Chain A
Amino acid sequence: MFAAFIFPFLIAVGTMCAISGILAILMVIADATIGNYGTVKIAINEDKTLEVEGGRSLLITLKDEEVFIPSACGGRGSCGLCKLKVMEGGGDILPTELSWLNPTERKQNVRLSCQLKVKNDMRIRVPEELFNVKQFRTRVISLRDLTHDIKEVRLKLLEPDSIHFKAGQYVQVEVPEYELTDEPVYRTYSMSSEPFATDEVELEIRYVPEGICTTFVHKHLKEGDELTINGPYGEFLRSDTTRPMICIAGGSGMAPIKSILMDMNRNHINRKTRYFFGARSKRDLFLLDDMRQLEKELPDFRFIPALSEPEPEDQWNGETGLITEVVDRHIKDASDMEAYLCGSPLMIDACIETLKKNNMPEENIFYDKFA
C-alpha cells in the first residue's frame, strides 16, 4: 500500500527535478550565448576606434574606456544628461528614450547613452571637450558646515594630481556603496574653487532629504576619506565680453558664481558686477566675509544678499523680499548687461522673467539649473 503511494510520488518529484535542471542548463546556455555579443568596435568621431565587450550600456562601456559622459542619475534614464549622437549601430529609439528626445534630436540620431545597449559595431560622436574629462582619486581634506544644510567639501587630488577646468564647470562625484545604495552612483556638483588651484577641488553640497549623495556627504563622509570624482563638465562659463554682469544665486548655487568671481579677481577682470544672493533668513547666508573681501579686491563688484523672511533675532538691515523683487529694485535697464544664474529652477525661471522685463536680451542670460 505504502509502496503504491511512494513510487509514483518519487517519480513525480524526480521528473520535476529533471525538468528544473534542464531549464536551468538552458538558461545558463542562453545567458552565455544570446546575451554574449562578443567584441564590438565603437568608432568615435571618425578618429578613434575602441574594441570593447558588448552587452552593457554605451554609457558604462565608454566609462570603462575612460570616456566620461555626464550623467546625474547613474544610468537610470531619469536625468537626460548622457545624450550622444549615434550615427550607426544604435538600432531603433527605445521607449525609455522617447520622452527625452525632441524631434530635431531624433532626426540627428541623438540617443540616451545609458539606455542604449552595445550589441554591434557602432559609430558615435562625442563632444571634443569630453576628452578632457578624467577620473580622479581624491582625499577629503576638510568638511565645513557653511549653513545648517550646506557643507563645503575640499578635496585634494591624488591621482592624477591636478585638474584643468574653467570657472563655472562641474564634476561628478562617485558615491560608493553604503546603506542607501548597493552600487556606486554618480551625482553632479559645481566646483566652487578657482581654476588657479589645480591640485584641489571645492564643492558646496546642500542636504536633500533621502538624497543618496547628499546623505552620504552630510552623514557619512569624514576628513581623510578617499572619494572618486570625474570631470570637468559644463558650459556655464563667463563670456569673454566687457558687459556689466548680474549674478543671481541661492543656496548651493553660490558655488559656480564664487568660482567665476575668484577667477575674475585672479585675472584682474574688472567688469562691473552685481551679485544678488537670495536666502530665507540669516541662517541660510554664508561666505559673507569672502564676498566682502571680494568687494574690496574687485573694483566694481557689489554683493547684495537678500532675505525673504528674516527672523526678528536676525536684526537684518539689508535687502528684504524675494530675490526677483530685489533685482527689480536695483536693475532698471539691463539691455546691455549679462546675467549668470544658478539655483533652483523656480528661482531661475522667475529671474529670467524679471530680467527680460528689464530689457535684458534672452541670449545674454546664462544659467545652471538644478533640473
Chain B
Amino acid sequence: MQQTAILDKIQHNMQPGNITRSGFLGTDTRHLGDILIDDDARVKRLGVSHQAIADRMQALREKGTQGLGNEITIPPHYKIRVDSVRGKLPCPFGDVGLFPKTNTTITNTDTGETITFTDLSTHMIGVHGFYEGHGGCFRLDPEKLVSTLDVQPETE
C-alpha cells in the first residue's frame, strides 16, 4: 500500500503524545501502509476477515458486560472482565465520535491465553484492519486473537 499524505497524517495522529501518551505504533518504525498490508496478509492466511475478528471481540465484550465490572465466566471457556476508566478517545483515522476507555480482558481457560482490548481497538480492527504497531502495549496479534477468541475461518 502506498504511503499517501492521508496515511502520513493518520500515522502522525498515532505517534506518542498526540491521542494517547504511548501512541498506537509501539516500537514499529514501518510506514502505516506497510503495517496494514502485513496484518491484512496475516489475517487472510488465517482464513478470516478483520470484520469477523472485530465481531467476535464485540460479541464477547457484550457478554462480559453482564459481570457489571467484575470478571464473569462465559461458556465454553472464557473468563471476561469489562471495565472502564475515566475518559474517551478519538479514532486516529479521524472517524466521527469518541470511544469510551473500556477495557475488555478475556482469558481462554483452555489455552491460558489472555487478551486485553479497548472499544477503540475493536473499531480500528473492524473498520481499518489496524492491530497497532509491534512492541506497543495494546498491539493485538491476529493469530493470538483468532486462537484465543475462537474466531472461525470463513467458508466460501
- Seen from chain A, the residues whose Cβ lies within 8 Å of a Cβ on chain B are 72-74, 76, 78-81, 99-100, 180-181, 185, 188, 208-212, 250-251, 278-280, 284, 308-309, 322-324, 343-347, 350, 370-371
A-contact 0/1 string along B82-108, CB 8 Å cutoff: 111111111000000110110101000
Contacting pair A280 B70 (CB below 8 A): yes
Chain A residues whose CB sits within 8 angstroms of the CB of B138 once the complex forms: 210
B48 within 8 A of A: no
Chain A interface helix/strand/loop/mixed = loop
Q: How far is it, in angstroms, between the C-alpha of A138 and the C-alpha of B98 when the chains are bound?
A: 36
Q: Indicate the size class of the contact surface on chain B.
A: 20 to 34
Find B68's partner among A76, A181, A210, A278 (CB 8 Å cutoff).
Answer: A278
A180 to B136, CA, bound (A): 11
The distance in angstroms between the C-alpha atoms of A284 and B81, with both chains bound, is 13
Neighbour of A81 across the interface among B73, B86, B101, CB < 8 A: B86
Please indicate which of the listed interface residues B88, B100, B138 has the most CB atoms of chain A within 10 Å of its own CB: B88
Contact residues of B with A, CB < 8 Å? 19-22, 65-73, 82-90, 97-98, 100-101, 103, 105, 116, 137-138
Asked if A72 contacts B86 (CB within 8 A), the reply is yes
Task: Out of B19, B72, B83, B87, name the residue touching A344 (CB < 8 Å).
Answer: B83
**Are B85's CB and A308's CB within 8 A?**
no
A347 to B70, CA, bound (A): 9
Output the nearest chain B residue to A307 by Cβ-Cβ distance.
B70
Give Cα A208 to B84, complex, Å.
10
- Cβ of A346 and Cβ of B69 under 8 Å apart? yes
Contacts of A180 in B (CB 8 A): 21-22
Given contacts A78-B98, A208-B85, A210-B116, 4 further A-B contacts (CB under 8 A): A79-B88, A209-B103, A210-B137, A371-B86
Q: A78 to B19, alpha carbons, bound, how many Å?
A: 8
Pairwise interchain contact B89-A346, C-beta atoms closer than 8 A: no
Enumerate chain A residues within 8 angstroms of B22, measured Cβ to Cβ. 180, 210
